[in-house]
Structure 1
C-alpha cells in the first residue's frame, strides 16, 4: 500500500510547479514513519510553508486548541495556524504565505465531526478564491469505505464540526470527500471550484479498516490513541453533547462513558437491547481532566466484538435513549464548548447536524430510524466524484 504522500515523495512533480505549502501535523509521515516535510525537502520538493490544524502541527494541544509555534524546528519553515481561521483572514494567510499550491496530508477518522476534513474544506474555499492549487495526498479511511451511518447535515446547523451535507460516518477518503465538496459545495461558497488534484492511495481496498492495512497507526489527536478508539468514535463522540463524560481524561477516551448519576441499571439495560457486535461492561472511573474531572463516575465500556456488524452511530443513539429513560431528571445536553463566535446552541445538534436527535430522545420517541444513512453516493457526471443525492 502506498499513501498519497509516499507517492508524492517518490515523485515531487505530482504536486505541480511552484512553491508548495504542506497542510500537515504529526500524522503526516511516510510509511516508514519519517516526517513528510523534511523528507519532501530532501526529495527536492519546493516546500516553503507548513499549515497546522486543530491540535497543532505536533498534535500536543487538546480539543479546541492549537499550538503557538511560528516556525518548525525540524525544517526551519514558517508554520501558519489555520485553527479558528476562516473567510478573509484565511485568504490573507494563504496570500501571506506566498504558496502556489497547498498539499493536504492529514489522517482523518471517517466521522463528519472530526475537524481535519473541515480544515481541508475551508482551505479549499480559500484556495479557490485566491487562485492557489489544492492537492490532496490521500490516505485510507480507517473505518473502511463500505459503510455510512446517520443523516446528512442540515445546512442550518453547519459549524466547524460539519460544514456540508455529509453523513455522520461518511465512508469516504479525504480525497473522495474533497472531490465531492469541490463539485457540490465549494463553488457555492467561493464562487468557483478549486483547482483540485488528488494523489490517490495505491493498494487500498474499500473493505480495509486501519488494522487491515500495513500502515502504522499514528494517533491523529490526543484522544484517538488506537484503531479501537476510532471504531467507536463516530457514535460515542455524540456524548460530547451531553452531561456525561466521554472518557476524556482517561486512557480509554470514547470507549468509556459515565456520569455521577449512572448506576447499576445502565449496563444490563443496554445488554437487553441486543445491539449487534458489541458488549457493555459496567465500570467506574475518575477522569483527570475535562468533564467531571476528579470525580468518581459510573458507566460502561463499549467492547466491540465484531466490527463488521457493529454500528457505532446506532449504538450510541440507543445508549442516549436508554439514559433518558433511566435517568430523566439527571441526563441532559450541553451547549457548544468553545464554539465559533457566540455559538451556544446545543452541541448535540451541531454534532448530529440537526435538532432531530435531541428532540426525539427528549420526547421518548424511537430515535434509531434517524440513524439510517442516505442513499449511497453515486458517480457524478461520469467523473470520479462521489456525490450524495
Structure 2
C-alpha cells in the first residue's frame, strides 16, 4: 500500500482532459462513458468536459447503460441525456457494420473512452473499447483513451491467454483472465494485433495517461472514489475476488447475484458441511472461507435456500483469485460429482478454452492450468507498459 502523500498524486486521464481540452485533439468528440466516470470531486465527466470547453457532441453507453441501471446482459435504451442534452448511443452487443453505422450516424471525429474497468478479461467494458476501436479504424474516427488505474494494480497477471476459437463478448482476443494492464495499455496491445487483424488497419490511437499511478498501487492506494461500475460490483472487495469467482457463472452454483455480496459468496442446494473444511485444508494463500447460508433474490437458484462459503481475503498481495476459484471448482466436482455441473459451454468462454472444464471432468488437478503466460507487459510486449 502507498502512503497518504501518494494518494494526492494520481490524476486520471479525464481529469487532465478537463484541465487541457486540447489533449483529445480537434473536431467533434463522442464520449464512451457511464455513471462511473466522475472527477475526484464526483462531478460527472460529460458536463464537466463541456464546461471546460471540450466540443462534446454525443455519448456512448456500454453494458448496464449510461446510468448503470441494467443488470448483466442488459443496457438502457438510446435517448437524450438530460444533464447535457446530448444524444446517447447504446453500444452493448453492437459490433461490425452495425456499430460502424452508429459511429457514422453520430457524426463524431473522435471517440474518448473513459470507463472504470475492474482488471478482468471477462468484464465487458474493455471489449466495448475494442469493438469501438475496430469500428473507428474502419470509419476513420480517431480513438482517445482517457486512462484510469487498474484497480487490482499492475504487477500481477493470472490465468491463460484466451484461445481465439473461444472468442466472445467476454473475451475477444488473447488476453489473460487477470491482465494487469490499464485500459490505455490494453488499447496499445490490442491496436497492434487484434484491431489491426479485424479492421485491416490500426486505429489512430491516443492515450491520455493517469499521472502519478504506479504499478504497485491498487484502487485504495490511489485515493480515487470507488463508484460501483455495475450493479453486481458494489465494492472494491468485490473486484478483488471477481477475476476468480466470476467463473462460477459457468456452473450450476450461485455466484451470489441477488444478494448484497455478489462474487464474495458462492453456494448451491447440494453443498453441505464438508465444503468449508475441505477448502480450508487446501491452504490457499491470503483467504479464509466461512460457511454460510443464503437465499438469492434473483439469478441462479433464486428464492432457494443455499449453503456455501464466503471468501474473506486476508492478504490481497498473497491472494490469487483465479487459482483460488479453480481450486474451489475442483473441490466441488470431487465432493459432489452427481450434483455439480456446468452451465452449457459458457465456462469455456470465461476460461478462454475448454481445458479447465475437461480437466475437472476428468478428475485431473486443474491448478497447473492457472499458470499465467507471463508478468503484465511480457505477454503483451514490454513496450505497451505506460507506467513504471
Q: TM-score, normalised by structure 2?
A: 0.95
Aligned-pair distance for 1:184? 1.3
Alignment check: 8 A CA contact 1:349 1:355 kept: yes
Write out per-residue CA displacement over residues 233-263 of structure 1, whole angstroms, 9 at most, x where no aligned residue. Answer: 0000000000010000000000000000000
Aligned-pair distance for 1:375? 2.1
Indicate yes or no: 2:65 matched with 1:66.
no
Looking at structure 2, the residues matched to 59 and 99 of structure 1 have their Cα atoms a distance apart, in angstroms, of: 24
Looking at structure 2, the residues matched to 379 and 64 of structure 1 have their Cα atoms a distance apart, in angstroms, of: 30
Indicate yes or no: 2:378 matched with 1:378.
yes
The corresponding residue for 2:191 is 182
Alignment check: 8 A CA contact 2:157 2:374 kept: no
The corresponding residue for 2:6 is none
Aligned-pair distance for 1:380? 8.0
SS of the counterpart of 1:325?
helix
The corresponding residue for 2:137 is 128
SS of the counterpart of 2:361?
helix
Looking at structure 2, the residues matched to 231 and 378 of structure 1 have their Cα atoms a distance apart, in angstroms, of: 22
Aligned-pair distance for 1:211? 1.0
Pairing 1:193-204 to 2, within 5 Å after superposition: 193-204=202-213
The corresponding residue for 2:260 is 251
Write out per-residue CA displacement over residues 98-150 of structure 1, whole angstroms, 9 at most, x where no aligned residue. Answer: 00000000000000000000000000000000000000000000000000000
The corresponding residue for 1:338 is none
Indicate yes or no: 2:114 matched with 1:115.
no
Aligned-pair distance for 1:183? 1.1
Alignment check: 8 A CA contact 2:145 2:207 kept: yes
Aligned-pair distance for 1:69? 3.9
The corresponding residue for 2:367 is 368
Aligned-pair distance for 1:371? 0.4
The corresponding residue for 1:161 is 170
Indicate yes or no: 2:353 matched with 1:354.
yes
Indicate yes or no: 2:17 matched with 1:8.
yes
Aligned-pair distance for 1:63? 0.1
Aligned-pair distance for 1:212? 1.1
Alignment check: 8 A CA contact 1:378 1:386 kept: no
- Paired residue for 2:304, among 258, 272, 295? 295
Alignment check: 8 A CA contact 2:254 2:266 kept: yes
Q: TM-score, normalised by structure 1?
A: 0.95
Looking at structure 2, the residues matched to 214 and 375 of structure 1 have their Cα atoms a distance apart, in angstroms, of: 29
Alignment check: 8 A CA contact 1:379 1:386 kept: no
Aligned-pair distance for 1:378? 3.4
Looking at structure 2, the residues matched to 55 and 218 of structure 1 have their Cα atoms a distance apart, in angstroms, of: 14
Once superposed, what is the RMSD of the aligned Cα atoms? 1.2
Looking at structure 2, the residues matched to 211 and 362 of structure 1 have their Cα atoms a distance apart, in angstroms, of: 39
Per chain length, whose mean CA-contact separation is higher, i.e. which structure has more relative contact order (CA < 8 Å, sep 6+)? 2
Residue-pair matches, total: 376
Write out per-residue CA displacement over residues 150-204 of structure 1, whole angstroms, 9 at most, x where no aligned residue. Answer: 0000000000000000000000000000000001111110000000000000011
- Paired residue for 1:78, among 87, 97, 104? 87
Indicate yes or no: 2:268 matched with 1:268.
no
Aligned-pair distance for 1:386? 4.8
Bigger drift between 27-36 and 113-122 goes to 27-36
* Residue ranges of structure 2 left out of the alignment (5+ in a row): 1-9
Looking at structure 2, the residues matched to 295 and 211 of structure 1 have their Cα atoms a distance apart, in angstroms, of: 35
Looking at structure 2, the residues matched to 229 and 373 of structure 1 have their Cα atoms a distance apart, in angstroms, of: 22
SS of the counterpart of 2:104?
helix
Looking at structure 1, the residues matched to 129 and 374 of structure 2 have their Cα atoms a distance apart, in angstroms, of: 24
Looking at structure 2, the residues matched to 270 and 101 of structure 1 have their Cα atoms a distance apart, in angstroms, of: 50
Indicate yes or no: 2:147 matched with 1:138.
yes
Looking at structure 2, the residues matched to 203 and 375 of structure 1 have their Cα atoms a distance apart, in angstroms, of: 25
Looking at structure 2, the residues matched to 305 and 221 of structure 1 have their Cα atoms a distance apart, in angstroms, of: 25
Indicate yes or no: 2:206 matched with 1:206.
no
Write out per-residue CA displacement over residues 262-305 of structure 1, whole angstroms, 9 at most, x where no aligned residue. Answer: 00000000000000000000000000011111110000000000
Looking at structure 2, the residues matched to 272 and 379 of structure 1 have their Cα atoms a distance apart, in angstroms, of: 33
Aligned-pair distance for 1:74? 0.5
Looking at structure 2, the residues matched to 44 and 122 of structure 1 have their Cα atoms a distance apart, in angstroms, of: 28
* Residue ranges of structure 1 left out of the alignment (5+ in a row): 336-345
Pairing 1:197-346 to 2, within 5 Å after superposition: 197-335=206-344, 346=345
Looking at structure 1, the residues matched to 90 and 240 of structure 2 have their Cα atoms a distance apart, in angstroms, of: 29
Q: 1:252 to 1:200 in 2, by over 3 A?
A: same
